[in-house]
Amino acid sequence: MMVIIALTVIASAFAYSMKVEMRLAAMRNADSDMEWMARSGLEFAKFVLGQQLAIGAEPYDGLNQKWAGGSGGLGTSNSPLAGVELTDYPLGDGAISLTIEDTERWFNINTANPLILRQALIVVGAEPALVGSVADAILDWMDPDDDPRLAGTESPVYMARRPSHMAKNGPFDDISELLMVEGVSEELFYGDAVGRQAQQFGEQFPNEARRPGLSDLFTTISSGRINLNTASADTLQVIPGLDYNIARSLIQFRAGADGMTGTEDDRALRTVGEIPNVPGLAQIMQAPAVQNLFTVRSATFQISVRCRMYGLDEEYIGLIRRNSPSDLQVLSMQRHNIFKKSVDAHEGDPLLL
């Protein structure tokens, strides 16, 4: 009897062990499948972005176009994008959903001049006494020398920290590096408490419901220009001389008669030459600090590919550079923790392309 009991216990343990091994093997296979689904998603994004650029009737990028999740512009109905949907797109045994954002809706931290940095710090609510020193510290972080600016910070200050580190003396690779810069607190980076909660739980709050952070205003990869058709009211207010009222005026102009972004009646600036038609922008465009800063076309796009299969849910983040309708390059792709805000897009497991 004891032998039978012992054999039963051993058999049960072996069966359980095999079940665990099979589950782990399935998870490993699912990881590989998810990665290839994500790569397919980026190829799909390349198709959508390339086709959008080929629509001659829409010489701009705006939020009502298909790539941005909108209903489509005037030229969409006669293009291959007419029936395209970015959510719940069937793929193999699962489905993918894409969220595409142009990075020209944000300022490029690596090309921002001192005036832009100071204005951004004002927008995020930095104390007036700290605006100059934090802006100088950001510039010192990027410049190639170890000579601090008037109110800046270089390596000796960082080396005195525990743990210590050097000033990078090079461009930002990831926007989260700002948290390593002297004077950049989590509140300045993420925004207020409501904003941090929104990031934690993946919720979308109106800009008016929270104070933005530097992570809402800057990116590390873009053409360096601001697309006035896609930039948020917060980002627009970083432009010297462009206040809340002018920003809201532009947002309302873009939204069209129904006041809603992404719908059929949206309006867009078709060329840079149309920018002075928006109340308040004509005089701002003449300022030397912002000349050549504006565009109505975007060149770099951040792609969120959410993959669902076998009850699993994964998100991957990619960057695509668009040079022409037929020349689009995937710059990077990596796994991303699901439901985290896109500013943290570079956190996760990097994947070689």
Q: Structurally, how many domains does the chain consist of? A: 1
pLDDT at 19: 58
Task: Note the pLDDT tens digit of each residue in 56-100.
Answer: 999 999 999 999 999 998 889 889 999 899 999 999 889 999 999
Residue 92 lies in a domain: yes
Structural domain boundaries enclosing 57: 2-105+298-351
Q: Which pLDDT score is estimated for 162?
A: 85
Q: What CATH number has the domain bearing residue 71?
A: 3.30.1300.30
CB of 310 within 8 A of CB of 94? yes
C-alpha separations of 58 from 42, 54, 74, 296, 302 in Å: 23, 9, 7, 11, 21
pTM above 0.85, yes or no: no
Is residue 202 domain-resident? no
Give the model confidence (pLDDT) of 107-165 as tens digits.
999 999 999 999 999 999 999 999 999 999 999 999 998 888 888 888 888 888 888 88
Domain-embedded: residue 113: no
Question: What does the longest C-alpha to C-alpha distance in the chain come to?
Answer: 95
Using pLDDT thresholds of 50, 70 and 90, give the confidence band for residue 338. very low
To which residue do tokens 């020193």 refer?
133
Query: Whole-angstrom Cα distance, residue 42 to residue 328?
Result: 10
- Burial class for 232, CB neighbours closer than 10 Å (0-12, 13-18, 19+): middle
Beta-bridged to residue 336, according to DSSP, are 315
Q: Is residue 335 part of a domain?
A: yes
User: Tens digit of pLDDT for each residue in 22-35?
Assistant: 555 555 557 789 99
Q: Tell me if 12 is assigned to some domain.
A: yes
Other C-beta atoms closer than 10 Å to the C-beta of 218 total 26
From 221, 31, 198, select the one nearest 111 (Cα to Cα). 221
- What local confidence, expressed as pLDDT, does residue 225 receive? 96
